[in-house]
Amino acid sequence: MGTSLDRQDGREKVTGRAAYAVEHPADDVLQVWMVQAPIARGVVRRVDADAALAHPGVVRVLDHESAPRMPADDERDLEFSVLQDDRVRFRGQIVALVLAETSEAAREGARLVRVDYDEEPHAVTMDDAEPYAPENGVNGGHETDYADGDLDAAIRDSAVVVEQTYTTPHEFNNPMEPHGATALWDGATLTLWDSTQAVHPMRSTFAPLLGLDEEQVRVLAPYVGGGFGSKGEPKAPDVAAALAAMGAEGRPVRLATTRQQMFSLAGYRTQTVSHVRLGADADGRLLGVGHAAVSQTSGFKEFAEQTASAARMMYAAGARDSTHRVVPLDVAVPSWMRAPGEMPGMFAHEVAMDELAEAAGVDPVELRVRNEPDADPETGKPFNDRRLVECLREGAERFGWTGRTGPTRGTEGDWWVGTGVAASTYPTLWSPGNACRIEVLDGDRYAVSIGAVDIGQGARTVLTQISADALGVDPSAIDLHVADTDLPVATVAGGSSGTGSWGTAVVQAAQQLRADHGEDPEVGVHTTATSQEYPDSDGHALHSFGAVFAEVHVHRWTGELRVPRLQGTYSVGRVINPLTGRSQLLGALVMGESVALFEEGWRDPRFGHVVTQDLATYHVAAHADVKDVQAHWLDEEDPLATPFGGRGIGEIGIVGTAAAIANAAYDATGVRVRDLPLTADRFL
């Protein structure tokens, strides 16, 4: 561990031999195309499939009357309830599926399906409905509301006050590989080769949904081209693939979402509005922190982004108050997108801290150092190993941050030049119930099996390393088997919890193998262990921290913003593999730059659809947008988090990054942008 073992699946991926979900080899395949509703709310009156069925190659059209039935269930999750009733709940909803001999025929067939609707008035913008307190709590298990102390009194007593509103727009998960599946129903078993972050949780959702026993569902995800959260839970296209297979009379089916369909059927980050109140004494020591967050949800399934959660634990302040509200709309269900909650919330919070630093005349690094809590302000528990100050100090040193009490505002030719800083944090989540099987093979080799999924984060590689370390052998002696529900149960590759949770099961299985069979076990012996509660989560508040520094250039005549330098320094426990770990952090920093500069989805209030539904109108940072991006970490181990001392690193890199860039843009221009993204027009 701690070495840069090459990606175990790198060669397959870059040579094109890796078969992704919709490439799984299968004979006699039917292609599936989704017909989507062009209205935001209403009822399907009639589906006329005659013209589609007359088209050469079209085999079948499934609609809400002809699709396989799910068992009657008043509690059924309406997001997964594909083709089970005539309601249209959002624009883009699946209203029919066309099965055909070729993808082209399926697509043309979908165009020929005629659907008549009874349209109803819809509400699709945040102004169209009243916010309410989420009924099912906030994503990640956070309380909806939290209050400690009297915030109003603290603000009244403060010498320096910042009170501002910050917004983030709709953002859309755009992993390189869109959602898709190859599916086969043989009359007894449903097999899904699916692009998912979680094979076992997928099965647990699908089996009851489709009226099957868990043993009748097998999910495999050998290669996944990213997910960013959108593949953490099933989405409608996964369900559609399963239904199509069950309606295909024994033939396998393939369903691939298009890039455009990703903007209506794959989840997305809700827009957020954060009202932040910070009050401090004349030295910048916080007396009160308030964060009132409003996001939107769909009216038929609640999802509440945990936007204000970080404000509860980030800094010491006598009074802290934070709330979450959601506005229910006739839109698709929002979902997880890399660091849900922390990303938009810490944008607001860390820009507000920059405003406070300026108002108090305190260096922004020093301001954060001054507000370090002794223990977790939210729970009162000690932190596992809070090293934010070291991240700030080390990062400042490496970046060349010399301290300031006001804007530096330089110029280089026609470019205004500025620098900015923001802090980052992410909770250390650990999922119970992972299992791992280890079998002794010939020639001192070991087969290690767990249903974990490598979505590109490097799970195959680091689990090989963790296995080798735990068994005391070379990584080349490990045959790792992952991403199949036939293997021992594993939790989602999400919430930055995968490696820690799966890795704990691997280590415990290795320990059990050694305990049961000694150091030199016979070929063929094997052990399966289910992970025992590992982290000392009752005793400590487990979090990671980081500091992000950015240099920003803004063109004085065009307003174009560039980020020539972006640098993160993180405290994330032990980094198992510096190569894949650095890639995780760099990718997240780039994604943070992307949301800072570019990503902004627009919904047309007249029709309820996302207008920006391709990578031309919804730009995601590309190589040309990125210059010097660096990720560094402290040399440390965290035995409280995992047996191997590591904490999750999937999401922390995106947290705080947009704030650091916005703060640098302010330093360069004097224009305080509180609404992402930082488009050129803001600076003209």
**How many helices (DSSP H) and strands (DSSP E) are in the chain?**
14, 24
**Span near ligand MOS by CB under 6 A; candidates 298-306, 334-342, 407-415, 442-450:** 334-342
> Other CB atoms closer than 10 Å to residue 180's CB: what's the count?
23
Q: At closest approach, how far in Å is the CB of 513 from ligand MOS?
A: 31
Binder among 235, 338, 540, 603 for ligand MOS (CB under 6 A) = 338
Tell me if residue 623 falls in helix, strand or coil. helix
Closest CB to ligand MOS among residues 92, 232? 232
Q: Please name the helix (run of DSSP H) or strand (run of DSSP E) that holds residue 348, with its range, or none.
A: helix 342-360
DSSP secondary structure string, 550-615?
EEEEEETTT--EEEEEEEEEEE-B--S-HHHHHHHHHHHHHHHHHHHHT--B-B-TTT--BS--ST
Q: At closest approach, how far in Å is the CB of 581 from ligand MOS?
A: 16
Binder among 337, 348, 575, 629 for ligand MOS (CB under 6 A) = 337
Q: Does 172 bind ligand MOS (CB under 6 A)?
A: no
Give whole-number Cα distances, 454 to 60, 204, 227, 237, 266, in Å. 35, 19, 10, 21, 19
Binder among 146, 268, 336, 683 for ligand MOS (CB under 6 A) = 336
What is the sign of the dihedral through the CA atoms of 513, 518, 524 and 525? Answer: negative
Q: Which of 107, 109, 114 is nearest to 55 (CA)?
A: 109
Q: Does 229 bind ligand MOS (CB under 6 A)?
A: yes
Closest CB to ligand MOS among residues 139, 191? 139
What residues between 555 and 594 interact with ligand MOS by CB under 6 A? none
Phi, psi (deg, nearest 5) at residue 132 = -140, 165
Closest CB to ligand MOS among residues 109, 648? 648
Q: At closest approach, how far in Å is the CB of 228 from ligand MOS?
A: 6
**Span near ligand MOS by CB under 6 A; candidates 227-235, 240-248, 294-302, 574-582:** 227-235
What residues between 610 and 629 interact with ligand MOS by CB under 6 A? none
Q: Does 234 bind ligand MOS (CB under 6 A)?
A: no
Number of residues that bind ligand MOS (CB under 6 A): 11
599 catalytic per annotation: no
- How far apart (Å, rounded) are the C-alpha atoms in residues 661 and 595? 10
Environment class of 350 (CB within 10 Å of its CB; exposed 0-12, middle 13-18, buried 19+): buried
Binding mask 501-540 for ligand MOS (x = CB under 6 A): ----------------------------------------
**Span near ligand MOS by CB under 6 A; candidates 333-341, 348-356, 403-411, 431-439:** 333-341
Closest CB to ligand MOS among residues 336, 666? 336
Asked if 138 contacts 95 with a C-beta cutoff of 8 angstroms, the reply is no
> Which stretches does DSSP call E strand in 3-93?
30-36, 42-48, 58-63, 87-88
Closest CB to ligand MOS among residues 336, 633? 336
Q: At closest approach, how far in Å is the CB of 227 from ligand MOS?
A: 6
Rg of the chain on CA atoms, in Å? 26
Angle of helix 199-210 versus helix 236-246 axis, rounded to 10: 50
What is the sign of the dihedral through the CA atoms of 390, 392, 396 and 399? Answer: positive
The one catalytic residue in 305, 342, 350, 651 is 651
Q: At closest approach, how far in Å is the CB of 335 from ligand MOS?
A: 8
Closest CB to ligand MOS among residues 197, 298? 197
What residues between 188 and 217 interact with ligand MOS by CB under 6 A? 197
Instruction: Select the residue whose beta carbon is closest to ligand MOS and give its number.
Output: 229
What residues between 649 and 668 interact with ligand MOS by CB under 6 A? 651
What residues between 458 and 497 interact with ligand MOS by CB under 6 A? 494-495
What is the sign of the dihedral through the CA atoms of 134, 136, 142 and 147? Answer: positive
403: alpha, beta or left, given left = phi > 0 and alpha = psi -120 to 50? left
Closest CB to ligand MOS among residues 227, 653? 227
- How far apart (Å, rounded) are the C-alpha atoms in residues 229 and 454? 13
Q: At closest approach, how far in Å is the CB of 262 from ligand MOS?
A: 15
- How far apart (Å, rounded) are the C-alpha atoms in residues 473 and 259? 43
Binder among 201, 226, 232, 284 for ligand MOS (CB under 6 A) = 232
**Span near ligand MOS by CB under 6 A; candidates 25-33, 226-234, 482-490, 600-608:** 226-234
Q: Does 268 bind ligand MOS (CB under 6 A)?
A: no
Closest CB to ligand MOS among residues 299, 340? 340
Closest CB to ligand MOS among residues 232, 488? 232
CB environment 559-577: b (16+ within 10 A), e (fewer): bebebebbbbbbbbbbbbb
> Other CB atoms closer than 10 Å to residue 120's CB: what's the count?
13
**Span near ligand MOS by CB under 6 A; candidates 234-242, 287-295, 313-321, 332-340:** 332-340
Q: At closest approach, how far in Å is the CB of 339 from ligand MOS?
A: 6
Q: At closest approach, how far in Å is the CB of 337 from ligand MOS?
A: 6
HEC profile for 215-260?
Answer: HHEEEECCCCCCCCCCCCCCCHHHHHHHHHHHCCCCCCEEEECCCC
- How far apart (Å, rounded) are the C-alpha atoms in residues 65 and 33? 17
Q: Which of 406, 404, 349, 415 is nearest to 659 (CA)?
A: 349
Q: At closest approach, how far in Å is the CB of 539 from ligand MOS?
A: 25
Q: Does 542 bind ligand MOS (CB under 6 A)?
A: no
**Span near ligand MOS by CB under 6 A; candidates 41-49, 97-105, 106-114, 225-233:** 225-233
- How far apart (Å, rounded) are the C-alpha atoms in residues 30 and 534? 46
Q: At closest approach, how far in Å is the CB of 567 from ligand MOS?
A: 23
Please report, as ranges, the residues that interact with ligand MOS according to CB under 6 A.
197, 227, 229, 232, 336-338, 340, 494-495, 651
- Residue numbers annotated as active site: 651
